[in-house]
Chain A
Amino acid sequence: MYDHLDELEAQSIYIFREAYRKFENLAMLYSIGKDSTTMIHLARKAFFGRIPFPLVHIDTTYKYPEMIAYRDRMAREWGAELIVGRNEEAVTSGMGPERGRLVCCEKLKSEGLTRIIEQKQFNGLFLGIRRDEEGSRAKERVFSPRDKNFEWAYKDQPPELWDQFNTSFEPGTHIRIHPILHWTELNIWEYIQREKIEICGLYFAQNGKRFRSLGCMPCTTPIDSGATTLTEIIEELKTLKDPERAGRAQDQENAYAMQKLRAKGYM
């Protein structure tokens, strides 16, 4: 039977194929988390097992070692090209959250991303954001233009309808493509279970704690949980009252932190 997950999957495949056809120089941002790992699975569905563009990971140097080990192992398994980007200048200067979480995110992530896009001349970038994560993401388009300064004109977005996307753009600008924008956190977990997608071990409880959302070590807090299997995670999720990104400190800095970070090019 064609169910809700099939419907979501088909929509994602359609977006992938549309982007692949329309853009010369594509890349996929790979954050190692459950969402971007699911996104890779969907890309392989769209392209009959292939990942016909490089994966880009922005290394902040603050990720958990388990994440990096998992990333490298999976990239080999998928046969994917992995590009690791890093804002060397900021890293060398000792950038860290003690200088301000939002400054740190902007320097290490947004700017790290900007540099790699400029260097590799990517004009289309897949990102695994979802509308249910947070308020400004709820307002995103599937194909979302970014100007020369990588800024998002969220007050004046172009129309997007009937699965016809804005795929033309001026030189020097790029388009962010969001293949799983319409999925919810619960959908992702149910799909991971159905498709038997291997995810990073940090999502499963150890010593009474597990990560619900994965990020940099200083700014990510695990939740109390005894969920050691996908079934248990899904059951637990249905009872949780906090939002998914409650354990991500940068989101909580101030009322419009995410909106402001994202307007300047953050994921």
Chain B
Amino acid sequence: MNQNESLKIVIVGHVDHGKSTLIGRLFYDTGSIPEVRYNEIAATCKAQGRAFEFAYLMDALEEERDQNITIDTASTFFKTAQRPYVIIDAPGHKQFLKNMITGAASADAAILLVDGAEGVREQTRRHAYVLSLLGIRQVVVAINKLDMVNYDRNRFQKVENDIRAFLHSVNIVPSYVVPISARDGENIAKRQGKVPWYKGPTILEALDTFGNVRGDAGAPLRLPVQDVYTWDGKRIYAGRVETGQVNKGDEIIFLPSGKLTTVKTIEKWQETDLSLAGAGECVGITTEDELFVERGEVISRRKRKPVKARKIRASIFWLADRPFQAGKTYTIKLGTAEAQATATAIEERLDSSTLEVTERYAAELLPSEVGKVLFTLKNDIAADLYSDNIRLGRFVIEDGLLIGGGGIIQGLTDESGTSAQRICLNEHLIIGDEGSSVDLAGEGGGIEFDVSTEFLDYLGQGNRVLFRLRDLTQLEPVAHLAFEHDLVFRFSRAAEGINIILYKRGVLDEVVDDVDDGTYI
């Protein structure tokens, strides 16, 4: 059974623009609606005295059909020759944004639907922004109800331009903008020939162009401890590998406690001698040393580990009816960890539809608003920047008993108040045939160096070391290192990214003084 992994697609957009109808039509045109189900919908519509509503496939609740509106998100399943899909319908009404986010948060890709007659509206923009906050970058735009404007090409292009411009402002480039009519079934699964000027894919074809997004084996290991079982005389750390891979015999560190040990076994029921587990797998881990580690600690390697955070700066979206308040303490849940977090400041308050900053240092956020918030935590938590690791770079905020909002981490600071991670140069130095290097590209947050005499001796022997930087923010500590220890600092353009070569003056200067040919041997 070699099925591909499934892909989850969410359909978003303004209320009444035809999201549920699109799904119903897609199923109908591919023969995926069971006959009894079709008859049931037809009977309901007849009783209501209206034409057949494809939306009723998803809008199954009585209240939804009475008001012709989607209240809650629903999932349905669909398969093409390429792969299985989960299709997630999201409600468009502003009042149900929490349900829209519940649906969209698990999606790998999205179809953003815009009514071609009405054009871009408030929730079109809000949903587009939510997609970008949630990190959904694979987006197809569908311009719907073109039957109402006689499939007019100019009208289509006007709406296309509007939506492209807005998507650009939230860093989304749609892979296609498809002219459709969900009611008539134009460009859903078939072409009816109403838009001869359009040469691109149908919605169905566009789905299969989405790429798989999970399982980057090269990402650093993150295995949050979900529970600790002491069964059969063993102490098993249960958890899911969120990113990367864990191997038997790996030297690992638990954070925030900082405890070090080695992986003794990887355990699953009825499987013996497992040597590794990759992203997405739920496993148990036993360790060489008897540690007493609790739920919430994160297993990683000593290199490229998460930050032990005390302060978090995040973009949060608020969904609860009660406002989110500056100065109040909330429980945040990140991975399997929980922490009491005081909202020290709401630095910016944003209208999530216009993206306008409505206030700085605000007292509260209302439902559906987005804010840039600084949290101060009562206890350490292992976290990553969202840009480094999506899984450990996001959290939810509890308001009373229930989840009230979510956050995307943009800044992290540890207990000492510096946002720096200490990088031991000796440990990070890789000496290879192609030269020596220190790879900083995988380090999230700020960095500081621990400089050992061995490292300086190594340079003193005339060796050059290439530093691979993640971004320009790492220039400063590297430059500082060069200044402090009187090293030559130069850029190398041999490879992608920002690379710096450091070496001791005098040893090889003559040879490479003028031209930087990119070598660093």
Chain A residues close to B by CB (< 8 Å): 1-7, 10, 13-14, 17-18, 20-21, 44-50, 131-132, 134-136, 138-139, 141, 154-155, 157-162, 164, 166, 168-170, 182, 184, 190, 194, 241-243, 246, 255-256, 259
Closest beta carbon of chain A to B301's beta carbon, Å: 21
Q: Is the contact region of chain A dominated by helix, strand, or loop, or is it mixed?
A: loop
**Cross-chain contact A45 with B268 (CB below 8 angstroms):** yes
B77, B86, B98 pick with most chain A CB within 10 angstroms: B77
B436 at the interface (CB under 8 A from A): no
Of B1, B37, B84, B101, which is within 8 A of A161 by CB? B101
Given contacts A10-B280, A139-B74, contact A194 B1 (CB under 8 A): yes
Which of B322-330, B398-406, B412-420, B500-508 is found at the contact surface with chain A? B398-406
Interchain CA distance A133-B219 in the complex, whole Å: 37
B99 at the interface (CB under 8 A from A): yes
Interchain CA distance A134-B76 in the complex, whole Å: 10
Q: Mark B25-68, 1 if CB is under 8 A from A, else 0.
A: 00000000011110010011000000000000010111100000
Residues of B within 8 A of A169 (CB): 401
Residues of B within 8 A of A132 (CB): 76-77
Chain B residues close to A by CB (< 8 Å): 1-6, 34-37, 40, 43-44, 58, 60-63, 71-77, 84, 86, 98-99, 101-102, 105-106, 215, 226-227, 229, 231-232, 236, 238, 240, 267-270, 278, 280-282, 284, 295, 319, 333, 394-396, 398, 401-404, 406
Known: A138-B60, A155-B61, A194-B1. 10 other contacts (CB 8 A): A6-B281, A48-B267, A134-B60, A159-B99, A159-B101, A161-B101, A161-B102, A162-B396, A169-B401, A259-B61
Interchain CA distance A13-B215 in the complex, whole Å: 18
| CB-nearest residue of chain A to B44 | A255
Interchain CA distance A186-B153 in the complex, whole Å: 43
**Cross-chain contact B403 with A158 (CB below 8 angstroms):** yes
Of B5, B76, B105, B401, which is within 8 A of A162 by CB? B105
**Cross-chain contact B105 with A3 (CB below 8 angstroms):** no
- A-B contacts, 14 listed (Cβ < 8 Å): A3-B5, A10-B240, A10-B280, A17-B226, A17-B238, A141-B102, A154-B72, A162-B396, A164-B333, A166-B401, A190-B1, A194-B1, A242-B35, A255-B62
Interchain CA distance A260-B270 in the complex, whole Å: 42
**Cross-chain contact B61 with A161 (CB below 8 angstroms):** no
Residues of A within 8 A of B269 (CB): 44-45, 47-49
| CB-nearest residue of chain A to B333 | A164
Residues of A within 8 A of B268 (CB): 45
Of A4, A14, A243, A256, which is within 8 A of B34 by CB? A243
* Number of interchain pairs (Cβ within 8 Å): 151
Closest beta carbon of chain B to A82's beta carbon, Å: 21
| CB-nearest residue of chain B to A185 | B77
Residues of A within 8 A of B34 (CB): 241-243
Closest beta carbon of chain A to B229's beta carbon, Å: 7
**Cross-chain contact A48 with B3 (CB below 8 angstroms):** no
**Cross-chain contact A255 with B40 (CB below 8 angstroms):** yes
Given contacts A10-B282, A45-B268, A259-B62, contact A5 B396 (CB under 8 A): no
Interchain CA distance A18-B281 in the complex, whole Å: 15
| CB-nearest residue of chain A to B75 | A131
Residues of A within 8 A of B72 (CB): 139, 154-155, 157
Closest 9 CB pairs of A and B: A135-B60, A161-B105, A138-B74, A13-B282, A168-B401, A4-B3, A158-B402, A159-B98, A164-B396
**Cross-chain contact A7 with B282 (CB below 8 angstroms):** no
Closest beta carbon of chain B to A178's beta carbon, Å: 12
Interchain CA distance A204-B57 in the complex, whole Å: 31
**Cross-chain contact A2 with B278 (CB below 8 angstroms):** yes
Given contacts A2-B5, A162-B396, contact A50 B61 (CB under 8 A): no
Interchain CA distance A255-B61 in the complex, whole Å: 10
**Cross-chain contact A131 with B6 (CB below 8 angstroms):** no
Closest beta carbon of chain B to A150's beta carbon, Å: 18
| CB-nearest residue of chain B to A193 | B1
Given contacts A7-B6, A132-B76, A161-B106, contact A168 B398 (CB under 8 A): yes
Given contacts A10-B282, A45-B268, A48-B231, contact A155 B71 (CB under 8 A): yes
| CB-nearest residue of chain A to B89 | A138
Interchain CA distance A246-B40 in the complex, whole Å: 12
Given contacts A48-B236, A161-B106, A164-B396, contact A7 B60 (CB under 8 A): no
A46, A47, A141, A164 pick with most chain B CB within 10 angstroms: A164
**Cross-chain contact A161 with B403 (CB below 8 angstroms):** yes
Interchain CA distance A6-B1 in the complex, whole Å: 11
**Cross-chain contact A5 with B1 (CB below 8 angstroms):** yes
Residues of A within 8 A of B63 (CB): 155
Given contacts A7-B5, A138-B76, A182-B75, contact A2 B402 (CB under 8 A): no
Residues of B within 8 A of A160 (CB): 102, 403
**Cross-chain contact A2 with B226 (CB below 8 angstroms):** no
Closest beta carbon of chain B to A165's beta carbon, Å: 8
Residues of A within 8 A of B6 (CB): 4, 7
Residues of B within 8 A of A134 (CB): 60
Given contacts A48-B269, A166-B401, contact A138 B75 (CB under 8 A): yes
Residues of A within 8 A of B267 (CB): 48
Residues of A within 8 A of B231 (CB): 48, 50
Interchain CA distance A2-B277 in the complex, whole Å: 10
**Cross-chain contact A135 with B282 (CB below 8 angstroms):** no
Closest beta carbon of chain A to B305's beta carbon, Å: 21
Residues of B within 8 A of A243 (CB): 34, 36-37
**Cross-chain contact A139 with B73 (CB below 8 angstroms):** yes
**Cross-chain contact B226 with A14 (CB below 8 angstroms):** yes
B3, B40, B86, B215 pick with most chain A CB within 10 angstroms: B3
Interchain CA distance A242-B34 in the complex, whole Å: 6
Interchain CA distance A139-B70 in the complex, whole Å: 11
Residues of A within 8 A of B232 (CB): 48
Residues of B within 8 A of A5 (CB): 1, 3
Closest beta carbon of chain B to A89's beta carbon, Å: 30
